[in-house]
Amino acid sequence: MKLFIALMTGTLAIFALSLFVGYAAIPVPDGLAALFGVGDPLFETVMREIRLPRTLLAAMVGASLGLSGAAMQGFLRNPLAEPGLIGVSGAAALGAVIALQTGFAAAFFLALPLSALLFAAGAVGLILLLAGPRGASLTLILAGIAVSAFAAALTALALNLSPNPYAASEIVFWMMGSVADRAMTHVWLAFPIMALGWLALATLGRGLDALTLGEDAAEALGVSLTRLRLQLLFGTAAAVGAATAVAGAVGFVGLIVPHLLRRFAQGQPSTLLWASALGGAAMVLAADLAVRLILPERDLKLGVVMALVGAPLFLHLIYKTRREIA
């Protein structure tokens, strides 16, 4: 309960900060009024069409990545697991890259995220086909790695064959991940899909708790592992696929957040699920805030900042683990 209050307050505080900090200096009362469509129309445009979608997307993407990371680690009983493992984010990125490379992305407003979502759904089908609906965790992971590797190869190919340097740099920048310059339409496209994914993942708690004792003991505790596996796959695919479709590849969140919060969740996988969702939202919101504050004129990418923050945290983890082993 204390953990919930702390995380909730933190996330809401950063959320508010993200709404009221930006290039245009808007006083808080005016901004608040503008959010509800009252006051200066310029403020209203900035608040409702620039900052709100950006902030909402950062929170949604972070929550998706944190939640699916915690679920994946709980399922595999491995603190190094992350949502990208099942290949859905790689496939979604490939869909987006192909849309950019062929110029399809310019065909209509949501062409890029829709193409990414299509590829993510295709990846889920492919993984199910490879691993079988009753496949064990190991075959699921192997299928995920195969799909990721293939998607990475095709992404490289698309980059290799890009018609001109502008297209190539557009692809590279997109792949760095960002929630800047998104519209409410992006929010409305991603939200229903993410919400389905969150629902599927958030109800895994009991099964993941039981899995602490191993697959055999979990089954004897009344958990259907086949169902749990499918629910995890669909939940992760929906949440991460939609996140990648609207924000590009944002790494490290799904790996680091559950790891940082595990101690505060007292190791309990079910507690860690919602804690990581809140923590992930806070982390991505904070990273996006950093993007705007550090180099506002250079269009720093969210994924880059995340990696810059994530890598040292990872080093800290290695250090801590080594001390525990020694």
Partner 1 sequence: MSLLHVEDLTVRRGECPVVDRAGFAVRAGECIGLIGPNGAGKTSLLRGALGLLPFEGASDLAALSPRERAARVSWLPQRREIAWPMSVERVVALGRLPYLARGARLGPEDRSAVDAALRRMGLEGFRHRIATQLSGGEQARVLIARMLAQDTPLLMADEPIAGLDPAAQIATLDEFRALAAEGHGIIVSLHDLSLAARYCSRLLVMQAGRIVADGPPREVLTSALLSRVFHLKADIFATPQGPVIVPMGVHI
Binding segment toward partner 1, per CB under 8 A, in 16-24, 156-164, 267-275, 283-291:
267-275
Q: Counting contacts by CB under 8 A, is residue 205 touching partner 1?
A: yes
Residue 19 vs 223, nearer CB to partner 1 = 223
Residue 96 vs 223, nearer CB to partner 1 = 223
- Yes or no: say if 35 and 48 are a contact pair by the CB < 8 Å rule: yes
Number of Cβ atoms within 10 Å of the Cβ of 274 = 22
H-assigned helices in 161-268: 165-175, 184-202, 205-211, 215-220, 225-247, 253-261
How far are the Cα atoms of 102, 189, 208 from residue 111, in angstroms, in the given order?
11, 11, 37
d(CA 108, CA 104): 8
Q: List the x/- string, 103-122, binding to partner 1 by CB under 8 A.
A: --------------------
One residue of 166, 222, 297, 325 binding partner 1 per CB under 8 A: 222
- Yes or no: say if 288 and 54 are a contact pair by the CB < 8 Å rule: yes
Residue 227 vs 316, nearer CB to partner 1 = 227
Number of Cβ atoms within 10 Å of the Cβ of 258 = 30
One residue of 29, 216, 318, 322 binding partner 1 per CB under 8 A: 216
Q: Counting contacts by CB under 8 A, is residue 322 touching partner 1?
A: no
Binding segment toward partner 1, per CB under 8 A, in 27-35, 51-59, 147-155, 220-228:
220-228
One residue of 177, 269, 279, 310 binding partner 1 per CB under 8 A: 269
Q: Counting contacts by CB under 8 A, is residue 235 touching partner 1?
A: no
Q: Counting contacts by CB under 8 A, is residue 133 touching partner 1?
A: no
One residue of 5, 160, 263, 318 binding partner 1 per CB under 8 A: 263
Sign of CA dihedral 202, 207, 208, 210: positive
Binding segment toward partner 1, per CB under 8 A, in 7-15, 98-106, 112-120, 200-208:
200-208
Burial call 31-70: b when 16+ CB within 10 Å, e when fewer: bbbbbeeebeeebbebbeebbbbbbbbbbbbbbbbbbbbb
Q: Counting contacts by CB under 8 A, is residue 224 touching partner 1?
A: yes
Number of Cβ atoms within 10 Å of the Cβ of 263 = 9
Task: Supply the minimum distance, in Å, between the C-beta of residue 243 and partner 1.
Answer: 25
Binding segment toward partner 1, per CB under 8 A, in 98-106, 135-143, 172-180, 219-227:
219-227
Residues that bind partner 1 (CB under 8 A): 77, 203, 205-206, 209-214, 216-217, 219-224, 262-263, 266-269
